[in-house]
Structure 1
Amino acid sequence: MKQINKIYTPIVFLCFAVAACGPSQETKELQLKAKKIIGALPSKMPGSEKDTPELVSLGKKLYFEKKLSQNNTQSCNSCHNIEGKGAGVDNLPTSPGAFGKNGDRNSPTVLNAGYHFAQFWDGRAADLKAQAKGPILNPVEMAMPSEAEVLKRLNEDSEYPALFAKAFPNEKTAVTYDNLAEAIASFERTLTTPSRFDDFVNGDHTALAQDEQDGLYTFISSGCTSCHSGNALGGNSFRKLGQVNPYDTTDFGRFNVTKKAEDKHFFKVPSLRNVSLTAPYFHDGKVATLEDAVKKMAYHQLGQNLSDADTNKIVKFLGTLSDKSRTN
């Protein structure tokens, strides 16, 4: 026993000594670089400072409300599932609407969407409120025939008139389509997802394992941050899909909104937060795995043929961007 203690004591001392040394110089430099290029996710979304508990509560109820679809089968959550460990998507290539027909684009995650500079793949909605108005009246998605029909259903409900009145106490007519969208947006502004990466950027050098730090270094050095920068790692610019090497798609993207020839095949750069949870990938949902998505992005956008080793490093890092409550 004495001999064991003699061996054990130096090992314990060595462990404490290593811990006391703190991060390596490489880790410190990586933290600083990540903070400068990406940064930590703010604790609150823009505009949330004006949201009241009553408004958020109403928005949450509306987010899950199937009465907002013509045949009472679809809610916002149907395509953007946030229940349990749901990452704000349905994990399908494209989503079926109220009457079974699928849309033509992959449903992007609603998590952290309020940090983006525009909404939808083509940026046709300026903010969360404008976005919330679209799917309800879209004939493929929720298929309601008109705003008037939506309001009729809400006014005939036993709860909604009073809930709208509480959420919009200064308005004579509280149940309006504009207020419906504002309420849903207020709830969506609560859907922030802090990650281990944020802990790392905020100074916790132990938040990322060494292989994850290697992945972050490779992510930056490979040029991924030329598009995926800012605290959402994307969501702040439009880029041509097939910037260096063409990508096979018939979707004109941003051009459908602007009608400018130079906008053909431009799409909003998606946020990479929670990306390991939101397969399949790209606007068409045709890329099944994150490894394949990383390789294709490197080839089509950067003109690089990433090795399997570097691809796996980047994928390892991307896993650190997931909401901590959805990965435990």
Structure 2
Amino acid sequence: MNLNRLTTSFFLLVILGLVACGPSQETKDLQLKAKQMFGALPNKMPGSENDTEALISLGKKLYFETKLSQNNTQSCNSCHNVEGKAAGVDNLPTSPGAFGKSGDRNSPTVLNAGFHFAQFWDGRAPDLKAQAKGPILNPGEMAMPSEAEVIKKLKAEADYPALFAKAFPDAKDALTYDNLAGAIAAFERTLVSSSRFDDFVNGDHKALSPEEQAGLNTFVASGCSSCHNGNLFGGNSYRKIGQVNAYGTTDLGRFNVTKDPSDKFFFKVPSLRNVALTGPYFHDGKVASLEEAVKKMAYHQLGQTMKDEDTTKIVKFLGSLSDKTKTN
């Protein structure tokens, strides 16, 4: 056997060895646990099966339309930035409105929002369409005086009447406030993120590093998954902030919607999808770093003083939940 054949045979053996060397039993067990406890995020949001190309295109144009604000300075994207590497937020503690005054709550990410069981921190809107109607008329946000004024403004534009007619071909009067919100919701239903965690759950054992796998184990063992569960890692329940140790806030949360005293200080559990990209954190935006957020949640929600090494592990894992297009 000559040298070339020996070299070829050697490399073939190496390749076969690498192929044969699959995931460890621990990794396979963790993949199964992750699939059972959380699961991968679906590729499409509920309702998107009825969204046409014309409707989505109109919704995207409206999402970036500053004329939906009273002084033509602010769009949906101003607070929920989806351009480039932005992860559906403005990364501010609270967002300034069209006239500069900041609101009381942190702007949550619009990425994957259509998977949530309700919208806003207090759940006052049941779905994306209802949510889209709010900020445009909110005096502290886009500050338009009425639905009628919004429609009057859009009808004065050269392109919107035809675009609405195309997106809503069966409507007698297509350019309505309800249809405006429906179009924005259709665009938002396209904002589905895909992460390395999903790849891991779907069978790619190399998608998470050993450190990230250790972080996932710590995340579950520490009790974080008692609130941050399901394929969104949250977004599916209300919980009291400070359920073990009190959290200092004057915001009454869900109570402002229901007027039920038992709902005081209850907020929608935020999804941890893209959490490494969406700081600052909590409903008030007062926590700057993800490390601090993890420690505070452990203390206020679970009654734990989390060790630095466990915090580091969990933060490492949470990075695997980021949209791959926003991190590459």
User: What is the Cα-based RMSD across aligned positions, in Å?
Assistant: 1.8
Q: 1:128, CA displacement in angstroms?
A: 0.2
**Residues 30-49 of structure 1: CA deviation (Å, up to 9, x unaligned):** 11111111100000000000
Question: CA separation of 1:293/1:19 partners in 2, compared to 1, >3 Å: closer, same or farther?
Answer: farther
CA distance in 1, matches of 2:16, 2:307: 38
CA distance in 2, matches of 1:127, 1:218: 33
**Residues 231-280 of structure 1: CA deviation (Å, up to 9, x unaligned):** 11100000000011111100000000000000000000000000000010
CA distance in 1, matches of 2:202, 2:221: 21
- 3-state SS of 2:267 partner: strand
**Residues 8-39 of structure 1: CA deviation (Å, up to 9, x unaligned):** 99798557524422111111111111111110
Identity %: 75
Question: Does residue 118 of the first structure (1) align with residue 118 of the second (2)?
Answer: yes
Q: Which amino acid aligns with 1:121?
A: W
Match of 2:100 in 1: 100
CA distance in 1, matches of 2:7, 2:163: 68
Question: CA separation of 1:11/1:222 partners in 2, compared to 1, >3 Å: closer, same or farther?
Answer: farther
CA distance in 2, matches of 1:13, 1:91: 51
Match of 2:148 in 1: 148
Question: Does residue 182 of the first structure (1) align with residue 177 of the second (2)?
Answer: no
Match of 1:40 in 2: 40
CA distance in 1, matches of 2:7, 2:215: 36
Match of 1:60 in 2: 60
Show structure 1 runs of 4+ deviating over 4 A.
Answer: 6-16
CA distance in 2, matches of 1:255, 1:7: 73
- 3-state SS of 2:214 partner: helix
Q: Which amino acid aligns with 2:288?
A: A
- 3-state SS of 2:257 partner: helix
CA distance in 2, matches of 1:220, 1:205: 19
Match of 2:268 in 1: 268
TM, length-normalised to structure 1: 0.96
Question: CA separation of 1:159/1:107 partners in 2, compared to 1, >3 Å: closer, same or farther?
Answer: same
Match of 1:71 in 2: 71
Match of 1:249 in 2: 249
Question: Does residue 302 of the first structure (1) align with residue 266 of the second (2)?
Answer: no
Alignment of 1:1-328 (within 5 A): 13=13, 16-328=16-328
Q: Which amino acid aligns with 1:199?
A: D
Q: Which amino acid aligns with 1:191?
A: L
Question: CA separation of 1:19/1:224 partners in 2, compared to 1, >3 Å: closer, same or farther?
Answer: farther
TM, length-normalised to structure 2: 0.96
Question: CA separation of 1:12/1:283 partners in 2, compared to 1, >3 Å: closer, same or farther?
Answer: farther
Q: 1:221, CA displacement in angstroms?
A: 1.0
**Residues 108-152 of structure 1: CA deviation (Å, up to 9, x unaligned):** 000000000000000000000000000000000000000000000
Which shifted more, 14-23 or 108-117?
14-23
Which shifted more, 303-312 or 132-141?
303-312
CA distance in 2, matches of 1:324, 1:204: 15
User: What count of residue pairs does the alignment treat as equivalent?
Assistant: 326
CA distance in 2, matches of 1:307, 1:12: 46
CA distance in 2, matches of 1:8, 1:248: 67
**Residues 133-186 of structure 1: CA deviation (Å, up to 9, x unaligned):** 000000000000000000000111100000000000000000000000000000
- 3-state SS of 1:233 partner: coil
**Residues 277-306 of structure 1: CA deviation (Å, up to 9, x unaligned):** 001000000000000000001111111111
